[in-house]
Amino acid sequence: MLYIAIVLQAWYELEIAVEIGGTYEDMRTHSSARFSPLIRGHTWYGVAKSNAQLRLIDPQYGFTTPLASFLAVSFDDNIITHTTMYPHTELLLLDDALTVVLDLQEQWRQGGWINKKQKPFPSFADTPQWRAQLRDVNKGGQTFWYAGDKYQATLEMDRFKDHKRPEEERYKIILSVGKPWTPYP
């Protein structure tokens, strides 16, 4: 039986489908990955029980991430408030990490998201300046995107020590999405 489950998982990407402001039950109905059980009457968070991609459900601002090794959804009782994840299943090489963040930014641009904090936190780009900044273990990068007054996304990328591959430069990406928690600049 376990073999069949592994084969089925390989045929399609497991996902957690999130609608900010939606309910736990709706998330479970639209998701294919297993998730933590509901905890009523509390502010809490749950996690995907396997690698899963995030699909933000919104007709204009929706997007999909790559598979994630960590995907948490926060709730106020039964209502989804935000999600935080690592949109990768292992620490990435710089080229691969840039591919992930650039793809997310392109999905956001196409959906009408705007980086309104461009001056202090410019969008990620595949440039020599960005590569040098990201390689510096004391700097990394962070950018803030807004979908009108509906959502805010923070995308962060930092160099991270990979104990499995200590001779390689590896990177971790953190993505958080929810209702805007900082005002527009």
Q: Could you tell me the residue range of the domain that residue 6 belongs to?
A: 2-86
- Radius of gyration for the chain, computed over Cα atoms and rounded to the nearest angstrom: 17
Q: How many CB atoms lie within 10 A of CB 43?
A: 11
User: Which of 23, 56, 86 is where one domain is finished?
Assistant: 86
DSSP for 33-102? S-BPPP-TTSEEEEEBSS-BEEEE--TTT-EEPPPBSEEEEEEETTEEEEEEEESSSS-B-HHHHHHHHH
Residues contacting residue 61 through CB under 8 Å, at least 6 positions apart = 108, 111, 112, 113, 147, 148, 150, 151
Residue 175 main-chain phi, psi, to 5 deg = -120, 130
User: One-letter amino acid identity for 160?
Assistant: F
Task: Provide the 8-state DSSP code for 123.
Answer: P
Q: If you search the block for the tokens 């963040």, which residue do you land on?
A: 101
Last residue of a domain, one of 86, 105, 140: 86
- Chain-centroid distance of CA 17 in Å reads 12
Q: What is the mean pLDDT of each run of 10 residues along the chain (185 residues)?
A: 49 87 97 96 96 97 97 97 97 98 98 89 95 94 95 96 92 96 69
Same domain for 148 and 114: yes
Vertex 44 angle, CA 38 and 50, to 5°: 65
**pLDDT at residue 7, as a whole number:** 47
- Pairing mode, strands 151-160 and 170-178: antiparallel
Q: How many domains does the chain have?
A: 2
131 and 155 together in one domain: yes
Residues 127 and 173 in one domain: yes
Q: Both 10 and 46 in a single domain?
A: yes
